[in-house]
Amino acid sequence: MSEAASIESSFFVVLAMLLGTGSGLKAKPVPEAGCSRGRTASLRWDEMATECGSAHCTALPLHMTASDLRAHALDQLNRYLEVHPQEREELGALMAQLLEDPADVFARANMRGHVTTSGIVYDARADKVLMIHHKVLDRWLQPGGHHEGIDRLDVSAAREVREETGVERFAPCPAGAGGDLPFDVESHAIRANPAKGEGDHVHHDFIYLFAADSTQPVQPELAEVKGVRWMPRAEFATLPSARFARMSEKLLALATARSPADLAPSS
């Protein structure tokens, strides 16, 4: 199966599982190769690590040592670049740091740069993306943050989604035949923050895709987030930074892989 076919298959299996659909996408138990073995309801964020059905994903532990985490990130990046080779130059600094930097690439104190994780939570039926209004940056972003502790990268992203938005039910959509690839990987510069003792540095963000029903309630984490809303994908694409337009194109490719009738919820 091609990478594109695998991405499409994984996404719409989960979408059918979440929504229940007509025209060939009936909600039914997901096969072993799907995102959520035999489940007919979406997963809680803390269930995803043990429910992902791909052989590669189930071979990975929920928690990892520092050295295993670096190897995991490097593997994720290499396999992502096999699917998106046009992004290799843009992600060169991340690749070099994972290969060469003796310091902890997950530590916030690493001012060369450090790994962060975030989640794109998408309702394809409504064509909306779950976004937070960041209190400090005063801008709309996908939920995410610094990698904490020893979590696998996709699990870290899921936790950030749950903590910042309060959304309870969403399911992982592995982007690639390997079953656990990030939806997008992006490096961006962060300005110095003397109040935190931080100089200029780079965030290397591993972004994972999740499917959810946008009618469920949200509850923002008000300590860090001004608000949470389901943003139309067309608006999402116009946000400052080229990464949003790029991710919107990826979402559009997924959402238009089936006809509108195929995505209509069953009555």
Tell whether the torsion through CA atoms of 151, 155, 158 and 162 is positive or negative: negative
For the CA atoms of 40, 126, 45, 184, what is the dihedral angle to 10 degrees? 120
Lowest mean pLDDT among 37-41, 61-65, 84-88, 109-113: 37-41
For 61, the token pair is 């532990």
| Pairing relationship of beta strands 225-232 and 128-134 according to DSSP bridges | antiparallel
The arithmetic mean of pLDDT across residues 122-148, rounded, is 92
The Cα angle at residue 12 between residues 49 and 213, in degrees rounded to 5: 75
Please say if the pLDDT value at position 251 is more than 50: yes
**Residue found by looking up tokens 């009738």 in the block:** 261
In whole angstroms, how large is the CA radius of gyration of the chain? 18
pTM of the model: 0.77
What is the average pLDDT value for the chain, to the nearest integer? 76
CATH superfamily of 3-260: Nucleoside Triphosphate Pyrophosphohydrolase (3.90.79.10)
DSSP SS3 for 164 = helix
**Residue found by looking up tokens 């943003």 in the block:** 231
The arithmetic mean of pLDDT across residues 185-211, rounded, is 91
Confidence of residue 136 (pLDDT cuts 50, 70, 90): confident
For 209, the token pair is 């895709």
The arithmetic mean of pLDDT across residues 70-99, rounded, is 95
**Contacts for 143 with CB less than 8 Å, ≥ 6 apart:** 118, 119, 121, 130, 131, 132, 160, 161, 163, 164, 165
Q: Where are the domains of the chain?
A: 3-260
Which CA distances in Å does 9 have to 4, 35, 158, 244? Answer: 9, 10, 21, 23
The arithmetic mean of pLDDT across residues 188-199, rounded, is 87
Nearest to 207 by CA among 157, 267, 264: 157
* β-bridge partners, 183: none
In tens, the pLDDT along 34-64 reads 333 323 234 444 444 334 434 444 456 677 8
Distance of alpha carbon 67 from alpha carbon 49, whole angstroms: 20
pLDDT at 65: 82
The amino acid at 80? Y
Nearest to 228 by CA among 154, 109, 143, 169: 143
Strands (DSSP E) contained in the chain are: 114-123, 128-134, 139-141, 144-146, 171-172, 184-190, 201-211, 225-232
Distance of alpha carbon 172 from alpha carbon 35, whole angstroms: 7
For 3, the token pair is 């990478």
